[in-house]
């Protein structure tokens, strides 16, 4: 395996992703598996490819991605952010395109904690008049 051009991180919910970008032919591996196998639906795969499609760099780089924590959708968001950051470190001229698409902003939404005396974060128990 050749030395990566750069390594970046992406985060979403509780998922953390490390992205290593290398010169190559466009292969994307997540945790040692092809990304199409790791992210089963077409919608998730398209989210991963969004930064590459916007910048027309799909066939220029290989990505070796290590994803941990969270669920599948959190990991997809983290991968998308990590790929965007990696592309910027390789070519800073891509920044305005990716920033305009909102791919460089971390989505800070996370699950709200459960409050004491309630069945969920906001849900109340059923009201009984008598």
Whether residue 121 lies inside any domain: the answer is no
Domain-located, residue 38:
yes
Burial class of residue 127, CB neighbours in 10 A (0-12, 13-18, 19+): exposed
For the chain, how many structural domains are there in total?
Answer: 1
User: Which CATH number do you get for residue 36?
Assistant: 3.30.230.10
Tell me if 44 is assigned to some domain: yes
| Parent domain of 31 | 6-100
Q: Per the domain annotation, does 70 fall within a domain?
A: yes
Each of the 130 residues of the chain gets a pLDDT tens digit; together they read 578 889 999 999 999 999 999 999 999 999 999 999 999 999 999 999 999 999 999 999 999 999 999 999 999 999 999 999 999 999 999 999 999 999 999 999 999 999 999 999 999 999 999 8
Q: Is 27 helix (H, G, I), strand (E, B) or coil?
A: coil
Asked if residue 123 belongs to a domain, the reply is: no
pLDDT of residue 1: 57
Does residue 118 fall inside a structural domain?
Answer: no
Residue 77 CA neighbour count, 13 Å, CB half: 17
Confirm whether 76 is domain-assigned. Answer: yes
Q: Which two tokens stand for residue 121?
A: 């974060």
Residue 20 lies in a domain: yes
């Amino acid at each position: 395996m050749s030395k990566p051009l750069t390594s970046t991180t992406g985060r979403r919910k509780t998922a953390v992703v490390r992205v290593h970008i290398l010169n190559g032919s466009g292969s994307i591996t997540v945790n040692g598996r092809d990304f199409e196998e790791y992210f089963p639906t077409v919608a998730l795969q398209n989210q991963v490819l969004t930064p590459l499609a916007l910048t027309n760099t799909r066939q220029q780089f290989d990505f070796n991605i290590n994803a941990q924590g969270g669920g599948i959708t959190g990991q997809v968001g983290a991968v998308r952010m990590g790929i965007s950051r990696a592309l910027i470190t390789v070519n800073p001229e891509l920044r305005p395109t990716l920033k305009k698409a909102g791919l460089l902003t971390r989505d800070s939404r996370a699950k709200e904690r459960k409050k004491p005396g309630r069945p969920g974060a906001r849900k109340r128990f059923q009201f009984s008049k008598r």
